[in-house]
């Protein structure tokens, strides 16, 4: 089991799908499972129930995935709960897709999604990403077994991931 962690825009879903394909594994996206379980977008969940409720759903979904041949793309904030860090480290290999805030903001601005998560800070995209990354970067690094530069060409990232497994 492989867990892919990192901030929004780091390529977790894109890389996860291609990595799963290359290994013949199933691909699972925790955000997608949350949408299916709740029957509403993340923005709607947060608006109606708050971030704490969303984080609780996220933890439940993470713990419910119990198969070996799977690549799991996680939400950017999944690492905020100590229990989630432990679940991932104890049950699989954790891969952190690392990129600078400017790169992440450029990627997110290039492909805005209608159901994109609500702002965590109310600041501009670059400011928000920089602030969130300042808080989360040490946690991503502490949780990960491997850190991958997410700014490399996708085929190089997949080759590196296949070398790990």
Kindly list the averaged pLDDT for each block of 10 residues, start to end, along the chain of length 165.
Answer: 93 95 95 91 89 92 90 94 95 94 79 54 74 91 96 94 87
Beta-carbon-side half-sphere exposure of residue 50 (alpha carbons within 13 Å):
3
C-beta separation of 76 from 25 below 8 A: no
pLDDT of residue 133: 87
pLDDT of residue 1: 94
pLDDT of residue 55: 92
pLDDT of residue 109: 73
3-state DSSP assignment of residue 23: helix
This prediction's pTM: 0.89
pLDDT of residue 125: 72
Beta-carbon-side half-sphere exposure of residue 3 (alpha carbons within 13 Å):
28
pLDDT of residue 126: 76
């Amino acid at each position: 089991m492989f867990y892919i962690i990192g901030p929004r825009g780091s390529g977790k879903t894109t890389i996860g799908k291609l990595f799963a394909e290359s290994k013949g594994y199933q691909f699972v996206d925790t955000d997608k499972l949350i949408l299916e379980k709740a029957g509403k977008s993340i923005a709607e969940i947060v608006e109606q129930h708050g971030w704490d409720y969303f984080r609780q759903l996220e933890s439940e979904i993470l713990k419910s995935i119990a198969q070996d041949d799977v690549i799991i793309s996680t939400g950017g904030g999944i690492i905020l709960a100590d229990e989630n860090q432990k679940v991932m480290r104890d049950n699989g290999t954790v891969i952190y897709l690392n990129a600078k805030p400017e790169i992440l903001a450029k990627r997110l601005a290039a492909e805005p999604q209608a159901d994109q998560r609500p702002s965590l800070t109310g600041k501009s995209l670059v400011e928000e990403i920089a602030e969130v990354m300042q808080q989360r970067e040490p946690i991503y690094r502490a949780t990960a077994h491997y850190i991958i530069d997410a700014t490399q060409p996708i085929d190089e990232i997949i080759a590196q991931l296949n070398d790990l497994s």
